[in-house]
């Protein structure tokens, strides 16, 4: 990823955009943090928020005209927040907490003509930056139009504190100055820059036009001169006066540094924000009014009012995505970590697990108001790191071995319909449906052959998507080329896919193939006469790979309606649907997170689940939820077993199911001899259910255990525990060493434990 691409991606995420209140505040007070502190009774924290941004907080906090109130998101679902009352409560009950430091003196003298709030702010900001600030006013005291406020709103002693603050930062104050043309000429000669506060009495006698300063820099026609502010009687708000003083101080600082006065100033003052905040479901609440308006809020009233703040943020993707929740971050920060991880030359790549854990399902992109492509970033990064040999293969190796088995001798199959030498259609159920429900694959295929003309061929195998998800692009393209060639050998029939992942892969990466979803085909056909509907309503769980396939989703719902299943549509179906944890190979790279993703999808509804993706069905069933596959109801099992009770077969079960499906179909439909099983396949195992579940999580297949035991029994190379008679043996077929603790039993070898590692033991490297 290039720096320019990173910057573009970071700019797409809006989570760090200002909330509407802060964007509407001319000096960008963090109103959200202020409210959070008050709601949590963190009085000092609330005052710290004001001290950090608000000059003369004791003054401004009492008389702020709260322009943020009009922008408050709360106003869309009730009354906006009483920001001014809360600021007043804070500054009248809490003394200053944070005092901004004064930088070392660095030269440059600035004359500030006037005594109003804009002049006070400009002088204070310049003095903090190490400049010599001299305030010159015809008045006899500080404040300008602030003196118009009643004593109860702005006590004289509070203004006196403002004067003390100016003195404490080294601001020089001159009162009773005679304002005339000669005065301005002298000031310009004695100082490097000048700010004129339009709130100053007698400003008109200076014969300088201050009415139309530049809106960005506040510069006027005279070199080094700036003007802003103005009395409240002239329509300038208190916060506008503060903004002008701060804006002028920044312009003068740039002027003294001889740098651009206008560069990168778009975010100053009131500015737009792209932040999106979801308010659906938030209850409307009325403003908390003080019992004594003159006295203002009590502590209890302030807490209650501040608690109405909805803490505006986006985080919509994080709220729904198990991956983002697990890594406790939003896309902008994640892509920075991904960039740093990929760019590192030496050291530990700490983000590898995070990059490999993304489901690549695209839910976050659909939810994001600006379509942040996090799935594309993660997938591309995997491919780049694999190509540069900087991504260890361990995260996805088991999934790739599973794919290899599906494409190998014992599971793959490609045949024309029995008795035919050509095929108009080719049924491609996909490796996961074949592994989950082989009998359903057979029944579906037979139904297609009975009701469709022109011949329906059958292809068992894998579309190669695990290689694509894992970033093994060379392997993926090689797999796709082989598949396309095999389809060509069968005469390029129309491919009918039962798996939505296969459908999307063929559609995107093999445009020369003609593909149709099984669901769209069944929707137009006569459905099985023995199709059965459960008595209870069911929740539809769309797979993530039909997120952008509304026609497939519609066909599924038509079929459901035709066979009489009563369904419930939960909010996170269709385009917003969750991934079950299989997408992106999450459940292989991060087993606990894969389980969380499956639980999150399953819990979208309290109803029994209805899926039409084999991995969705199996992964949700593994969490303990009652979930059935739609084909279970279209083609009921002869045993009449409730489809909702069909267990998750696990990885070993899927391997066995694929192999047995091929053997069965070759024998019964094509009258062919199936491939000869290797000798270790005949080894009988006895494994307790609890251990079987553990082995599944450890990605250890029964076939791996058979290989270990077969090699140990043949070679005699094994350890024995004399206390219990258990054997311990190991075997390293390729890169992984498997260890199995076992003992012979009457019904087979009893397995007590098994684990694996990638270390090379002495003597094994050869």
- Which stretches of 646-726 are assigned E, i.e. beta strand? 685-686, 719-720
Q: How far apart are CA 135 and CA 122, in angstroms?
A: 10
Q: In the predicted model, is pLDDT for residue 233 greater than 50?
A: no
Class of domain 18-97+276-306: mainly alpha
Q: Which runs of consecutive H residues, i.e. helices, occur in 330-373?
A: 331-343, 352-357, 363-367
Instruction: Find where tokens 């689940």 sit.
Output: 609
Which contacts of 96-99 are long-range, i.e. CB under 8 A and separated by 24 or more positions? 96/47, 96/51, 96/57, 96/58, 97/44, 97/47, 97/48, 97/51, 98/47, 98/48, 98/51, 98/52, 99/51
Q: Which runs of consecutive H residues, i.e. helices, occur in 258-348?
A: 299-306, 316-320, 322-326, 331-343
What pLDDT, on a 0 to 100 scale, did the predictor assign at position 766? 44
Residue range 529-569, pLDDT digits in tens: 888 899 999 999 999 999 999 999 999 999 999 999 999 99
Instruction: Find where tokens 């009652």 sit.
Output: 626
CATH architecture designation of domain 397-521+651-664: 3-Layer(aba) Sandwich (3.40)
* Residues 76, 279 contacting (CB under 8 angstroms): yes
Mean pLDDT of all residues in 81-102? 96
Mean pLDDT of all residues in 303-316? 96
Question: HSE on the CB side for 152, CA within 13 Å?
Answer: 4
* Residues 683, 748 contacting (CB under 8 angstroms): yes
* Residues 240, 218 contacting (CB under 8 angstroms): no
Strand partners, 627: 609
- Cβ-based neighbours of 738, under 8 Å, separated by 6 or more: 700, 704, 705, 707, 708, 730, 731, 732, 754, 755, 756
Q: In the predicted model, is pLDDT for residue 698 greater than 50?
A: yes
Neighbours of 732 (CB within 10 A): 17
What pLDDT, on a 0 to 100 scale, did the predictor assign at position 734? 75
pLDDT grade for 232, boundaries at 50, 70 and 90: low
Q: What percent of the chain is helix, strand and coil (3-state, nearest 5)?
A: 45, 10, 40
Residue range 431-450, pLDDT digits in tens: 999 999 999 999 999 999 99
Q: What is the mean pLDDT of the chain?
A: 93
Mean pLDDT of all residues in 113-123? 96
Residue range 163-176, pLDDT digits in tens: 999 999 999 999 99
Q: By CB neighbour count within 10 A (0-12 exposed, 13-18 middle, 19+ buried), where does 237 fall?
A: middle
Domain ranges of the chain: 18-97+276-306, 109-257, 316-390, 397-521+651-664, 538-648, 679-757
What pLDDT, on a 0 to 100 scale, did the predictor assign at position 148? 87
Residue range 387-439, pLDDT digits in tens: 998 888 888 999 999 999 999 999 999 999 999 999 999 999 999 999 999 99
Q: How far apart are CA 611 and CA 618, in angstroms?
A: 9
Q: How far apart are CA 41 and CA 52, in angstroms?
A: 19
- For β-strands 413-415 and 193-197, DSSP reports them as unpaired
Mean pLDDT of all residues in 188-214? 91
SS3 634: helix
Q: How far apart are CA 547 and CA 553, in angstroms?
A: 9
Q: By CB neighbour count within 10 A (0-12 exposed, 13-18 middle, 19+ buried), where does 550 fall?
A: exposed
SS3 136: strand
Q: In the predicted model, is pLDDT for residue 184 greater than 70?
A: yes
Q: Percent of the chain beyond pLDDT 70?
A: 98
234 vs 699, which has greater pLDDT? 699
* Residues 732, 764 contacting (CB under 8 angstroms): yes
For residue 60, give both structure tokens.
């401004």
83 vs 347, which has greater pLDDT? 83
> Are the folds of 397-521+651-664 and 679-757 the same?
no
* Residues 337, 358 contacting (CB under 8 angstroms): no
Q: In the predicted model, is pLDDT for residue 91 greater than 80?
A: yes
Instruction: Find where tokens 């939820």 sit.
Output: 625
Class of domain 109-257: alpha beta
pLDDT grade for 235, boundaries at 50, 70 and 90: low
Q: Structure pTM? A: 0.84
Q: By CB neighbour count within 10 A (0-12 exposed, 13-18 middle, 19+ buried), where does 694 fall?
A: middle
What pLDDT, on a 0 to 100 scale, did the predictor assign at position 27? 96
Q: Which of 590, 537, 591, 542 is nearest to 564 (CA)?
A: 537
Q: In the predicted model, is pLDDT for residue 765 greater than 70?
A: no
What pLDDT, on a 0 to 100 scale, did the predictor assign at position 180? 86
8-state DSSP, 268:
S
Residue range 478-516, pLDDT digits in tens: 999 999 999 999 999 999 999 999 999 999 999 999 999
Residue range 496-505, pLDDT digits in tens: 999 999 999 9
Domain 679-757 has CATH 3.30.2310: yes
């Amino acid at each position: 990823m290039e720096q320019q691409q990173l910057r573009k991606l970071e700019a797409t995420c809006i989570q760090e955009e200002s909330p509407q209140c802060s964007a509407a505040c001319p000096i960008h007070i963090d109103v959200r943090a202020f409210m959070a502190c008050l709601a949590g009774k963190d009085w000092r924290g609330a005052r710290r928020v004001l001290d950090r941004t608000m000059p003369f907080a004791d003054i401004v906090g009492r008389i702020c005209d709260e322009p943020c109130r009009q922008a408050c998101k709360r106003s869309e679902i009730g009354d906006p927040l009483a920001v001014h009352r809360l600021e007043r409560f804070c500054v009248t009950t809490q003394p200053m907490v944070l005092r901004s430091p004064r930088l070392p003196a660095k030269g440059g003298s600035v004359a500030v003509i006037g005594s109003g709030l804009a002049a006070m702010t400009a002088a204070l900001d310049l003095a903090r930056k190490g400049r010599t600030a001299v305030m010159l006013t015809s008045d006899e005291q500080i404040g300008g139009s602030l003196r118009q406020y009643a004593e109860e709103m702005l006590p004289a002693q509070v203004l006196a504190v403002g004067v003390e603050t100016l003195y404490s930062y080294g601001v020089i104050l001159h009162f009773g100055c005679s304002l005339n043309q000669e005065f301005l000429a002298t000031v310009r000669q004695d100082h490097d820059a000048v700010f004129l506060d339009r709130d100053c009495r007698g400003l008109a006698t200076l014969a300088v036009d201050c009415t139309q300063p530049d809106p960005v820099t506040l510069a006027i026609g005279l070199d080094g001169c700036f003007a802003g502010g103005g009395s409240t009687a002239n329509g300038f708000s208190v916060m506008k006066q503060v903004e002008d003083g701060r804006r002028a101080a920044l312009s003068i600082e740039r002027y003294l540094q001889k740098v651009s006065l206008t560069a990168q100033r778009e975010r100053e003052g009131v500015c737009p924000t792209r932040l999106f905040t979801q308010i659906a479901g938030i209850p409307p609440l009325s403003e908390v009014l003080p019992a004594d308006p003159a006295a203002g809020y009590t502590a209890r009233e302030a807490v209650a009012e501040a608690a109405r703040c909805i803490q505006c943020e986006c985080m919509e993707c994080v709220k729904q995505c198990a991956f983002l929740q697990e890594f406790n971050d939003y896309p902008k920060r994640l892509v920075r970590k991904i960039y740093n991880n990929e760019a590192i030359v030496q050291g530990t790549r700490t983000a590898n697990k995070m990059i490999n854990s993304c489901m690549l399902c695209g839910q976050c992109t659909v939810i994001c108001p600006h379509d942040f492509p996090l799935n594309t970033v993660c997938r591309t990064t995997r491919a780049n790191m694999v190509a540069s040999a900087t991504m260890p293969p361990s995260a996805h190796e088991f999934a790739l071995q599973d794919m290899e088995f599906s494409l190998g001798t014992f599971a793959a199959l490609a045949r024309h319909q029995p008795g035919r030498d050509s095929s108009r259609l080719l049924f491609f159920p996909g490796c996961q449906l074949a592994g989950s429900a082989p009998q359903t694959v057979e029944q579906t295929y037979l139904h297609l052959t009975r009701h469709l003309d022109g011949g329906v061929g059958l292809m068992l195998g894998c579309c190669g998507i695990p290689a694509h998800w894992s970033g093994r692009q060379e392997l993926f393209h090689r797999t796709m080329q082989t598949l396309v060639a095999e389809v060509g050998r069968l005469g390029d029939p129309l491919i009918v896919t039962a798996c939505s992942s296969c459908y999307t892969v063929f559609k995107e990466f093999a445009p020369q193939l003609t593909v149709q979803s099984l669901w769209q085909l069944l929707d137009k056909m006569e459905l099985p006469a023995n199709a059965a509907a459960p008595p209870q309503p069911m929740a539809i769980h769309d797979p993530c790979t039909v997120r952008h396939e509304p026609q497939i989703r519609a066909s599924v719902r038509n079929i459901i309606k035709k066979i009489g299943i009563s369904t419930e549509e939960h909010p996170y179906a269709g385009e917003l649907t969750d991934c079950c944890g299989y997408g992106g190979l999450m459940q292989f790279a991060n087993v606990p997170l894969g389980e969380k993703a499956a639980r999150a999808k399953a819990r979208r509804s309290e109803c029994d689940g209805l899926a039409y993706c084999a991995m969705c069905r199996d992964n949700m069933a593994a969490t303990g939820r009652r979930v059935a596959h739609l084909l279970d109801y279209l083609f009921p099992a002869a045993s009449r077993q409730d489809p909702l009770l069909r267990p998750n077969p696990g990885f070993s079960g899927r391997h066995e199911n694929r192999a047995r499906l091929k053997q069965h179909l070759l024998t019964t439909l094509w009258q062919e001899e199936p491939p000869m099983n290797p000798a270790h396949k005949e080894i009988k195992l006895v494994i307790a259910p609890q251990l079987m579940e553990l082995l599944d999580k450890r990605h250890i297949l029964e076939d791996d255990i058979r290989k270990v035991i077969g090699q140990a029994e043949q070679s005699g190379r094994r350890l024995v525990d004399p206390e219990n008679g258990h054997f311990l043996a190991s075997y390293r077929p390729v890169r992984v060493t498997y260890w199995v603790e076992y003992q012979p039993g009457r019904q087979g070898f009893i397995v007590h434990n098994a684990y694996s590692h990638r270390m090379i033991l002495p003597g094994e490297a050869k």
